[in-house]
Amino acid sequence: MSFNKLYIVVGASNGLGHEFAKHVSIKNKTIGIYNKTKREGNKNIIYLKVNIEYKKQIEKFFKEKKSFINKFKVITFINFATYKKDDLILNIKDKDIKKTFSINLFFNIFFIQNLIKNFYLKKLNIIIINSSLGKNVDAGTLLYSSSKISLESLMKSIVIEYSEFNVRCNTLVLGFFKSPLWNRLNDAKKDKITKLLPSKKIGKVSNILNTIKFIEKNDDINSSLIYLDSGFRSVKI
């Protein structure tokens, strides 16, 4: 078992983030960042509480963990954390604007800034998690969709500015997947969503894992938008 690679997984206590962190930590050292619910894991995973809404907490994380992270040659960063609160434009509150953009966009910028600044001599693999829901604009989705669409510009800027320093950045655009969060939905809701999809199939978490492995093994994959949404982006809602 080699520990040349480190995974930093944000949103590692719930949903897809937890499933991913649990899987990659079987054979790799992993830092799982959470905000509310701590999970127990195997000996290869370290769970750390970080409130990702605040820049100072991000800076504190890097200050405390810089020497540990420096032990690894390859660092893969994946952020599964997201925030979504739907409301019509005239009803949107300032606090909702701040929280949505702090979690969905600003955190990614601040974290990646620190990652590149501190570890640009390493091989950095940045995978941005986006959502087909963010691209499928509907009434009430302004904050979520606008914060998510901005992540495409972030990816392209990283690639243009830092690819020559061994930094790669790609985006996975996800749809609906069989996960603990999916299992909480009632049967009527599951049936409604499934019928919306052109393929009539809900995604498997294993497909996310396999796609990330494929990206990591192929250095030519850079600045790519990869859809794993069962065709949801083509659905009009």
HSE-CB of 204 using CA atoms within 13 angstroms? 4
pLDDT for 207 beyond 60? yes
Render pLDDT for 128-181 as a digit per residue (tens, 0 to 9).
Answer: 999 887 776 678 788 999 999 999 999 999 999 999 999 999 999 998 888 777
Cα end-to-end span (Å), the chain: 47
Q: Is residue 40 classed as helix, strand or coil in its secondary structure?
A: coil
pLDDT tier, 39 (very low <50, low <70, confident <90, very high otherwise): confident
pLDDT tier, 93 (very low <50, low <70, confident <90, very high otherwise): very high
Higher pLDDT, 21 or 139: 21
Q: By C-alpha distance, which of 228, 230, 201, 222 is closest to 16? A: 228
pLDDT for 31 beyond 70? yes
| The total number of structural domains that make up the chain | 1
pLDDT for 2 beyond 60? no
Per-residue pLDDT at 220? 94
Render pLDDT for 176-203 as a digit per residue (tens, 0 to 9).
Answer: 888 777 888 889 988 988 988 888 989 8
Per-residue pLDDT at 33? 96
Q: Is residue 70 classed as helix, strand or coil in its secondary structure?
A: coil
Other C-beta atoms lying within 10 Å of the C-beta of residue 174: 25
pLDDT for 84 beyond 70? yes
pLDDT tier, 237 (very low <50, low <70, confident <90, very high otherwise): low
What residues contact 102, with CB distance under 8 A and at least 6 apart? 52, 53, 54
Average pLDDT over residues 63-71: 96
**0.75 exceeded by the pTM?**
yes
Domain of 143 in residue numbering reads as 5-234
CATH number at residue 212: 3.40.50.720
Average pLDDT over residues 106-135: 92
